[in-house]
């Protein structure tokens, strides 16, 4: 009887592992194929925001936290729009938009567009996103904000 209980236990473990592996693979495939917004506290969201946070620190010498206005991810690409503020919340800074790409398991900033009004090379220009698609033809349109 103990042999059967042990065998039954092993079978349950194998089935549980297989089911978990299938769910993990399905979640990974879903992430690769569908546009989504990573939830607060998830590793992917933290990784994306940490890369952007390091860039703000490098460029401006300030440590920030972000209020996320927009974050979309698909096929290893992400578009983010954030409002940075000081860690103590006393200082607020200009909002940031950025295009990121997952390369070698790390998120990298591909572009941070300028946000000057009426500048033909900046985000406000109607041709900005078509030009962005020319520079980065693999960017899924679903991650880009609808203007």
Find the Cα–Cα–Cα–Cα dihedral 47, 50, 51, 52, rounded to 10°.
Answer: 130
Per-residue pLDDT of the chain (147 residues; tens, 9 = 90+): 555 454 444 443 333 333 333 233 333 444 456 999 999 999 999 999 999 999 999 999 999 999 999 999 999 999 999 999 999 999 999 999 999 999 999 999 999 999 888 777 899 889 999 999 999 999 999 999 986
First to last CA, the chain: 68
């Amino acid at each position: 009887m103990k042999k059967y209980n042990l065998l039954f236990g092993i079978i349950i473990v194998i089935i549980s592992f297989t089911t978990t592996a299938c769910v993990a693979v399905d979640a990974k495939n879903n992430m690769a194929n569908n546009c989504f917004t990573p939830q607060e506290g998830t590793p992917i969201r933290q990784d994306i925001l940490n890369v952007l946070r390091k860039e703000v620190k490098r460029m401006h010498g300030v440590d920030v936290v972000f209020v996320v206005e927009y974050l979309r991810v698909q096929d290893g690409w992400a578009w983010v729009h954030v409002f940075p503020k000081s860690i103590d919340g006393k200082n607020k800074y200009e909002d940031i938009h950025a295009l990121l790409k997952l390369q070698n398991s790390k998120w990298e900033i591909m572009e941070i567009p300028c946000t000057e009004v009426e500048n033909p090379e900046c985000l406000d220009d109607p041709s900005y996103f078509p030009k962005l698609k020319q520079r980065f033809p693999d960017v899924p349109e679903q991650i880009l904000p609808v203007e």
